[in-house]
Structure 1
């Protein structure tokens, strides 16, 4: 079983599953920006509870589709002209971006993209960074086995948010992965494009980097995004909705001996972590003029 290597043998494989509400396919205004911050506050609340020994399950899984936005990594905030990049996004697409706590670079999110976070308690045995990435890839592969799809793993340099554990099908990237760790609590963050105009998503990021003068970065940290290098999962499988993917992915846990317990995300106290996210996103508010 995939989880036997780091969970204690005497601990039941129980997983708390949270699903945020489905969001409209219209960008949120700056006044409603907290709705975009909320999923990150949920994840940090769970991670900190796990690290403090105050979470009652060894695993948690949080699904969180969003209204249209661009989720920025910390490196994106160091663009040569971040104000121009943010203003371009807002003026041309209506999007107010979000600065996330996990690493990596910009990704696009909307209701047809599944964002999910697997949150793990590794206090009984350390889970190396690459092993955590491989764990989530193995789970995704199990979900794809029913569709006779073989996932490929490796950096797609001209995708947005390229990384060692990019997930592709037939050379076209469909998903990316990042991590966040707090003590012995590990959060593995995944986005996977299910349906929608993926070429346009790529163009949005390409144009944002052009506006932000990524070409002037002397460390060459920003990808030259090719909008044609990424695809949707629905381009290769019969999965044509977010819920279809969620159902298949949860099955991958169940066949590995995990008991799934659905919980209400609103029961998690997030006020402290929402405030931290607001501070992290102050750079966006300053650019767009939010008081």
Structure 2
């Protein structure tokens, strides 16, 4: 993929929630990305690049919330000082905390820009960010990881990132989480215990992850030295500029604020409905 052609001489709205995101509900990020999808899809906005970091949260997928003993899994996670939320998009459970960097690229949908191209775009961005990585950054499903997918990013067979996409209202959001610091295996172990308690031999309608904690790592562990969110943020900005992208610090417009309020309420209602079902 020619990443330069996608970035060079293009204006990108730059929105940095890597610090402020620690103070607000992670569900806001899903409403924000949907808001920007709408704006870009309507051609009322330049493409958007947004970074976000949130406090300790286990973000369940809809399928996770329907596991036969999910309330027991949730109780365990909460006992480990993580809040539990349910997102309205696809995918399975992931972990957010102050050592996990999330990044969204949001732009107008183009029929020639396939789903695979969206994944390849983010994979290439990460290869540029981590040009000094201690090994090739590969994209394939890592068996035994949480939220496994064909575009798990790994070094030496250890997963440190996962990519997802959301396409709505004429816009595309390509999103990634990067485990930057902390223990990848500890995060995986938390979800391993969640699934064990949430399934407990009951009937399950999907292939839930049989997690092997040792297949997951943070970038700090893979590099063998401390890497921080600020390091990744600096690399992101310098990489975008080196590729010719024009970054404009931005915030929600008045129209986007109204749209965000509406979408956020919908996300909250869906989350509450999903969690109410698990408690019934």
Whether the TM-score (by the shorter chain) exceeds 0.5 is: yes
Displacement after TM superposition at 1:250 (Å): 2.7
Partner of 2:107: 120
Q: Verify the 8 A CA contact 2:41 2:107 in the aligned structure 1.
A: no
Partner of 1:132: 118
- From 64, 89, 96, the equivalent of 1:102 is 89
Rounded to whole Å, the distance in 2 between the matches of 1:265 and 1:14 is 16
Partner of 1:111: 98
Rounded to whole Å, the distance in 2 between the matches of 1:115 and 1:218 is 30
Q: Verify the 8 A CA contact 1:18 1:265 in the aligned structure 2.
A: no
Rounded to whole Å, the distance in 1 between the matches of 2:131 and 2:226 is 13
Partner of 2:240: 253
Rounded to whole Å, the distance in 1 between the matches of 2:169 and 2:240 is 24
Partner of 1:22: 19
Rounded to whole Å, the distance in 1 between the matches of 2:153 and 2:103 is 15
Partner of 2:37: 47
Partner of 1:31: none
TM superposition score normalised by structure 2: 0.88
Q: Verify the 8 A CA contact 1:65 1:109 in the aligned structure 2.
A: yes
Displacement after TM superposition at 1:218 (Å): 4.4
For structure 1, the residue ranges without an aligned partner over 5 or more in a row are 29-33
Rounded to whole Å, the distance in 1 between the matches of 2:248 and 2:75 is 42
Deviation per CA, 1:130-183, whole angstroms, max 9, x where unpaired?
110011001110111144642011001200000000000111000001110014
> Number of residue pairs matched?
274
Over the aligned positions, Cα root-mean-square deviation in angstroms equals 2.6
TM superposition score normalised by structure 1: 0.85
Q: Verify the 8 A CA contact 2:161 2:178 in the aligned structure 1.
A: yes
Matched, 1:190 2:160: no
Matched, 1:88 2:76: yes
